[in-house]
Amino acid sequence: MTTARYRDALKYGAIWVFILVELAFFSIAGEFMSTSDKAFMDFDNMLLLLKQSAPIGIIALGMTIIMINGNIDLSVGATYALAAIVLLDSMTWPALQAMGDWAIPVAWGLALLTGAVLGAINGLIVWKTGVDAFIVTLGSMLGYRGLVFMINGEQPTSHLNWTLVDFAEAQFLGLHTATWFLLITALALWLLMTRTVHGRNAYAIGNNREAAVNAGIRVGPHMVWNFVLIGFLAALSAVVFYSESGSVNPNDGMLFELWAITAVVLGGTKLTGGYGSILSTLGGVIAIQLLRKGLGHIGAATETVNLVIGLILIAVLLLDRQLNRKGQEELKI
């Protein structure tokens, strides 16, 4: 009991400590190196940071569930792009044009449905063929991207709906619309994973799939629902982002899967499944965004962000390994 608590506190808590360290570092370093005279921990700056975390963040939250369940999804970036195109393109259809502002919920619905369907396709293939999720989603990452180009062509699609932009830029209780989506998603998924039978079974499947099967848990449907969920969330992320930006390039969303996985791993979720926390992933997402902004704040070239994040990811792994070592008595294999 105590060892588990201790380890949980360490693994899930580490990311928040890391965020505090980042905040302190960039605040202090910013005093000496910043090009602007604004403080780093400026309130507006932090609000903006949360807003900017939302697109990757919403996807990373879904990725957490997929990884706890023992799978991985490399196709989220392509799903994101496809949902964005459906969102913007559908609003130009005559049928929707005629609906006035009612076109917005319909377009949202179509985009979210697209995401859910793409997720379901991944999930069903993984379930029914028994091919590893890594390979299936590696394939659909290419395939869905191909669909993006087929529907959209090679040119960007733009459509600005000002009602939608107003909604996206609104602030409620000081937080931006995108931030609300991020926080509500986090809360909903946290409840899902800690309180519901589906969530607990997802943990059990990721932890010991054979045991779950033996206990009569239907592994397949759980997996499919989780893929539907991440497809839906990738679409939600697109909906939130493109409502404001109004323009999508067919290459958008590339490498999102890598950012999302990085955030999840920073949050302490086990790659092999069965262990992880939604809230820590939220921490991972914020930590990455903080790093991006912080490096900009202290005048580091934007190019170094990738370098630093990559190295931090590796450092986290090294640290994790050192903490888990059993010392000198360990078997050297």
Partner 1 sequence: MTAPIPVLRLEGIVKTFPGVRALDGVSLSVMPGEVHALMGENGAGKSTLMKVLGGIHAPDTGQIFIAEEPTVMTSPQQAKAKGVVFIHQELSLADELSVAENIFLGELPLKSFGRVDWTKLYADTDAILKTLNVGFDAKTRVGDLSIANQQMVEIGRALTVNPRAVIFDEPTASLTDAEKVVLFKVIADLQTKGVGIIYISHRMEEIFKITDRISVLRDGQYRGTLTTADTSEDEVTQLMIGRSLDLSRNTSHHALGDVALEVRGLCCGKLFHDVSFALRKGEVLGFYGLVGAGRTEIAETLFGLRTPRAGQILLNGQEVKITSPIEAIRHGISLVPEDRKHQGLVLGMNCRDNMTLPQIDDLTAGPFVSDGAEVAIFDHYRDKLDIRTPGWHQTVGNLSGGNQQKIVIGKWLSMRPQVLIVDEPTRGIDVGSKAEIHNLIRDLGAQGYAVIVISSEMPEVLHVSDRIIAMFSGRVMREFTSEEVTEDNLVQAISGIEANKFVEGR
Partner 2 sequence: MAGLTKQGIGAILAKQGILIAFAIFMIGFALANQRFIAIDNISGVIRSSAILGVMALGVTFVVIGGNFDLSVGSMMSFSTIVVLDLHDKLGPALAIPAMFGLTLALGAFIGFLVGYMKLNSLIVTLGMLSAIHGLTLTWSGGKNMDIADKAGTWFSVFGQGRILGVPVPILIFLGLAVILGITLSKTPFGRKVYAVGGNGQAATFSGIPRARIVFLTYLMSSFCVAVAGLLQASRSLGSQNTVGQGMELEVLAAVVLGGASLMGGSGTIFKTVIGVLILGFIQNGLLLMGLAFYVQYVVTWAIIILAVWLDVAAKRGRLWSPTA
Collapsing DSSP to helix, strand or coil, 235 comes out as helix
Measured between alpha carbons, how far is 268 from 284 in angstroms, rounded to an integer?
9
Shortest reach from residue 206's CB to partner 1, in Å: 8
Q: What number of CA atoms fall less than 13 Å from residue 286's CA on the CB side?
A: 24
Q: Which listed option, partner 2, partner 1, none, makes contact with residue 262 (CB within 5 to 8 Å by class)?
A: partner 2
324 is a contact residue toward partner 1 (CB under 8 A): no
Q: Tokens standing for 316?
A: 């986290």
Size of site (CB under 8 A) for partner 1:
29
Which partner in partner 1, partner 2, none is near 195 (CB below 5 to 8 A by kind)? partner 1
Residue with tokens 């934007």: 302
Site for partner 1 in 71-130 (CB under 8 A): none
User: Site for partner 1 (CB under 8 A): which residue of 80, 144, 181, 203?
Assistant: 203
Residue 3 binds partner 1 (CB under 8 A): yes
CA distance 109 to 168: 16
Residue 10 or 215 with smaller CB distance to partner 1: 215
The type of residue at 272 is T
Question: Which residues are at the interface with partner 2 (CB under 8 A)?
Answer: 74, 125, 127-132, 134-136, 138-150, 154, 213, 218-220, 254-255, 258, 261-262, 265, 271, 301-314, 317-318, 321, 332-333
* 119, 124, 126, 130: CA torsion to nearest 10: 180
Among 70, 267, 274, 284, binds partner 1 (CB under 8 A): 274
Residue 48 or 200: the one with the smaller Cβ distance to partner 2 is 200
CB of 52 to partner 1, least distance (A): 33
Name the residue nearer to partner 2 (CB basis): 41 or 307.
307
Give how far Cα 34 sits from Cα of 37, 60, 257, 306, 319, Å. Answer: 7, 30, 31, 20, 30
**Which of partner 2, partner 1, none does residue 174 bind to, with CB < 5 to 8 Å depending on kind?**
none
Answer for which of 36, 45, 171, 196 binds partner 1 (CB under 8 A) is 196
Task: Give whichever of 77 and 274 is closer to partner 1, judged by the CB atom.
Answer: 274
121 conformational bin, left if phi > 0, alpha if psi -120 to 50, beta if neither? alpha
Distance in Å, CB of 324 to partner 2, minimum: 11
Q: What CA–CA distance (Å, rounded) separates 285 from 15?
A: 10
- Other C-beta atoms closer than 10 Å to the C-beta of 184 total 11
Dihedral of the alpha carbons of 48, 51, 53, 58, in degrees to the nearest 10: 170
> Does residue 184 interact with partner 1 by CB under 8 A?
no
Contact (CB, 8 A) for 182 and 289: no
Which is it for the CA torsion 299, 303, 305, 311, positive or negative? negative
Which one of 15, 74, 103, 217 is in contact with partner 1 (CB under 8 A)? Answer: 217
From 29, 198, 249, 308, residue interacting with partner 1 (rule: CB under 8 A): 198
| DSSP annotation of 303 | T
Query: Quick one: what does residue 215 bind among partner 1, partner 2, none, with the CB cut-off 5 to 8 Å set by partner type?
Result: partner 1
User: Is 203 within 8 Å of 274 (Cβ atoms)?
Assistant: yes
Least distance to partner 1, CB of residue 67, Å: 13
Q: For residues 74 and 84, which CB has a smaller minimum distance to partner 2 in the complex?
A: 74
Instruction: Select from 210, 301, 303, 322 the one that contacts partner 1 (CB under 8 A).
Output: 210
- In contact, 72 and 138? CB cutoff 8 Å: no
Task: State the residues that interact with partner 1 by CB under 8 A.
Answer: 1, 3-4, 195-198, 200-201, 203-204, 207-208, 210-212, 214-217, 274-275, 327-333
